[in-house]
Each structure stands twice: as C-alpha cells, then as structure tokens.
Structure 1
Amino acid sequence: MESMTELVVARQFSAPRTAVWAAFVEPEIIAQWWGPHGWAVNEESVVFEAKVGGRHELEMVQVGNPEAKVPLKAVLTTFDEYECLVSADGPHEMTLDLVIETRIEFKEFAGQTMLTLTQGPLPYEVVDSSTKAWHSALGKLESLLAEYF
C-alpha cells in the first residue's frame, strides 16, 4: 500500500473572517478564485449547501483547454459558521478512489484572518503538487479580497 500523508496550508488574509468565510460558501465568490492559476470555475457549476450533509460541488476547467476538467463532488461533514468547514470528497477516479477530507479553519485577529487548510489522506507523490495548487488558489483569493480590504 502507498504511504499516505496530509497537507497543511496556512495563509493570513488582510480581510475580516466574515469576508474570507463568504469566499468559501458563496457560489458567486467561489467561482471568482477557486483553483490554481490557469484554471477557472463557471459559477453555474458551483453548488454549496450550507449545512452538514450539504453538497459542495464545482467543476474547474483549464483555461485554454476546455476539455481538461476537474470536478469537486464533496459533502459537508462540519459546518461551524465562521469557524470551520470540513468536507469529504470521493471515493472516485479524481480522488484516486480515496475519501479525501478537507478541513478549513478560520481564525480572526485584529481585523485579519488566519486560514488553515488540512487535506488528506493523500499519497506522498501528490502532496507537493496539491500544496502548490492550494497556494496558487489562495493567492487568487488574496488578490480578490485585496480589491475590497
């Protein structure tokens, strides 16, 4: 069996927690930043049901190659408003037939927000590329938030 691990990405945003939270739960905002550079999300593909058991779905499409698509079809397992979101995605081909949990925690201090994202289990060989993808996506979110805060 392959060795498994998890990735952890932390990022501080110069925006209040309510704004960062909204970027993860409002489909029209999710579509503006989700995915690494070079990928886009059509707002019509975004489903976010704000409750435990609710769906968190979207489809990323590679810019310049619309045939390259990556779906997210997760179910929320924790919905603690403004504090924590946890979702489970899989098992299916895109998750390597694993159930992958993504935990996103939001902490506010002095008008800024510290976001900590933990995702796994993941095979060691995908952790580096997945970490880079999350850093890229969160960079897009930071740029979006900077337009307002």
Structure 2
Amino acid sequence: MNTQNPVTGTDDLVITRTFSAPRSRVFAAFADKSRFIRWWGPPGVSVDEAIWTATPGDDFRVVMRGQEGTYILVGRFIAVEPDHRLVFSWAWETDGVPGHESEVTLTFDDNGPQTRMTLVHSGLPDTDAVEKHTEGWAGCLDRLTAFLDT
C-alpha cells in the first residue's frame, strides 16, 4: 500500500507482514548484526560488509553485492525501542556520497503467537522510487520469513 504523506508531500510505502515467530525474535533479526547479515537483501543479493549497531544516534553502512553490482546503504538509527519499534534514516551511497535521504519505521506487535510488523518507508522522492523499494522490501521480507522459519 502506498500513501501520500500530507506533511512532506512525498510518497510513503507501507507494508504489513505477519511472521510465525515471537516479537523479540523478529526484532532481533533486524537489530542484531549477526542475524541481520544472514537474511538482509532481496534474493540474489548478499551482504559483504556491515557496520550495524542498533543504537540511537549510531550511523550504519551496509555493502551488498548482487548480479548487477555493488549497492551501499547508509543511514543513522533514530529510535530503538527493543521488541517494539526501530526507526532509521536510509540513503543509497554512490561514489562515497549519500543520495536522497528517506526514513524507515518498523513497528512490531504481538498477533497471538505470531508477530505483525508494519514497515513505513517515508520520504521517498517519487512513485518510481516507491515501486523499486516496494519490490526490494518484498524480497527482503521474503528472505526474513525464510530465516525465521529455520
């Protein structure tokens, strides 16, 4: 689902997924570097290097490799509420320079023995970016599902 953000006038990407795992485990898959690097990225993409400590104010950098080349994601952790919410900025780095910055908010809620996660990726510059990130996030979350099922 995509929505127009009335405050920023930009497109927001909203995805809700339910995982067959407790909330603490789903949150840890994002917050713990050793878990994160095992599933992160859409199919065919692997993490080559990651600076990833989910602490408010800490910068992160994730270097990924896929068939079409290397992708570098950079940002800063804004809010970390263990097992409940994770907020971070998001920018693709090209030639050592971060591009357009957007923001990702993940919320984790109990849904019986499962976890319902809502992802809001706000501040994307246009509809094309929303479409590309929708595809990328879908692939990442499919891999997260497989990771949690093992």
| 1:86-129 residue CA offsets vs partner (Å, 9 max, x unmatched) | 11134855998322101111111212101111112111112112
Deviation at 1:55, TM superposition (A): 2.2
- Number of the residue aligned with 2:3: none
- 1:35 offset after TM fit, Å? 0.8
Matched, 1:23 2:29: yes
Structure 1 pair 91–61 and aligned structure 2 pair: CA distance change class (3 A)? closer
**Structure with the larger helix share:** 1
Percentage of matched positions with identical amino acids: 26
Query: Which residue in the other structure is 1:53 paired with?
Result: 57
Q: Which runs of 5 or more residues in structure 1 are unaligned?
A: none
The 10-residue stretch of structure 1 (118-127 or 87-96) with the greater mean CA deviation from structure 2: 87-96
Contact 2:41 2:140 in 1 (8 A): yes
CA RMSD of aligned residues (A): 2.1
Other structure's SS at 1:22 match: helix
Distance 2:19 2:139 in 1: 14
Quote the residue 2:103 is aligned against.
Answer: 101
AA at the equivalent of 1:134: W
1:7 to 13, 28, 43: 13
1:145 aligns to 2:118 (yes or no): no
TM-score, length-normalised on structure 1? 0.85
Q: Residues 103, 4 of structure 1: CA spacing in aligned structure 2 closer, same or farther, 3 A cutoff?
A: same
Check conservation: 1:46, 1:59, Cα contact below 8 A. Answer: yes
SS in 2 for 1:53: coil
Q: Equivalent residue for 2:89?
A: 88
Match in the other structure for 1:132:
135
Contact 1:92–1:98 (CA<8 Å) still a contact in 2?
no
Structure 1 letter corresponding to 2:64: M
- Residue-pair matches, total: 140
CA deviation string 1:37-85 (max 9, x = no partner): 111113xx222223210123211110x45xx111111101111111111
TM-score normalised to the size of structure 2? 0.84
- Amino acid of the structure 2 residue aligned with 1:30: F
Which secondary structure state, in structure 1, belongs to the residue aligned with residue 83 of structure 2?
coil
